[in-house]
Amino acid sequence: MKENISHLRELQAIDLKISTLDKEIAANSAEIDNRRASLDGHKENLVQLTAKIATCEQRRRELEGELEDEQARIDDRQTKLMNVQTNREYQSILKETEDAKKANKQREETVVLLMQQIETLNAQIEEENKICAEDEKMLADDIAALEKKTSQFTAEKSKILKTRESKAGAVTASLLKKYTAIRDKRNGVAIVPVTGGVCRGCFMNIPPQLYNDLMKEDKLISCPTCHRIMFHETETTDE
């Protein structure tokens, strides 16, 4: 039974190392995904800002066209004022002219606001382009570093898997099945030490009789609380 426990402990150490490598690879990949998402967000902002500028430019051109047309009508009315024959007609044309001038003034003010808005949007685009350029360079560097790390992790994992295959072969099929089932349910930890009558998997006290049986080391015993396989370990001074 001691030999089985020894094989399981070695197997678990290997599995925990493999799990650590897998987490490292996943964490690096997640970081790259986050960076890509951030870069995509800036690119989407660029698209939206460009669309806003196009809308502002279109409206500015429309207003400038309206200004030109209205100014032509104002000039025509002012010419007519020179030839009116009645005061009523004069006042009517004068009012139309003043109203047109007010409308054009509003158009001019709107054009100025649009030009200011376009200037602000262009500044934002310049900033977004700068961020995108920096992010793309950093992303390229990070991807290169990630690929190098991943290659190293994969090579290391490949070696460890060969060792695992050898260690797993030393365990009976039924015990390996039990170990794997517990490991899957208990966050990768299937076998734990017991010191001072306490399971180091769930940190719960185990019954005295069960503890006595565990110390005999003549059979596999599972923790009644977390159901991990237990083995006795002498309590140290530090503990």
Q: What is the pLDDT of residue 144?
A: 84
- β-bridge pairing 198-199 and 191-195: antiparallel
pLDDT reading at 12 higher than 60: yes
Reported as a single tens digit per residue, the pLDDT across 219-237 is: 899 999 999 999 998 876 5
Reported as a single tens digit per residue, the pLDDT across 172-193 is: 899 999 999 999 999 999 999 9
User: What residues make up the domain containing 203?
Assistant: 174-232
**Helix 2-81 and helix 87-169: axis angle, to 10°?**
170
Quote the number of domains for the chain: 2
Six-digit token pair at 133?
A: 């350029």
Reported as a single tens digit per residue, the pLDDT across 140-178 is: 888 888 788 888 888 888 889 988 988 888 888 999 999
Same domain, 166 and 180: no
Same domain, 31 and 111: yes
Give the percent of the chain with pLDDT over 90. Answer: 57
Q: What is the pLDDT of residue 21?
A: 86
Element at 232 (helix H, strand E): strand 229-232
The answer to whether residue 65 sits within a structural domain is yes
Choosing from 170, 196, 212, the residue where a domain stops is 170
Same domain, 76 and 150: yes
Give the percent of the chain with pLDDT over 70. Answer: 98
Same domain, 221 and 115: no
CATH of the domain at 106: 1.10.287.1490
pLDDT band, residue 239 (cuts 50/70/90): very low
Say how many C-beta atoms besides its own lie within 10 A of residue 220's C-beta: 17
Same domain, 132 and 225: no
Reported as a single tens digit per residue, the pLDDT across 74-133 is: 999 888 888 888 888 889 989 999 999 999 999 999 999 999 999 999 999 999 999 888
The answer to whether residue 125 sits within a structural domain is yes
Q: What is the pLDDT of residue 190?
A: 96
The answer to whether residue 237 sits within a structural domain is no
Same domain, 156 and 56: yes
Backbone φ and ψ of 227, nearest 5°: 70, 15
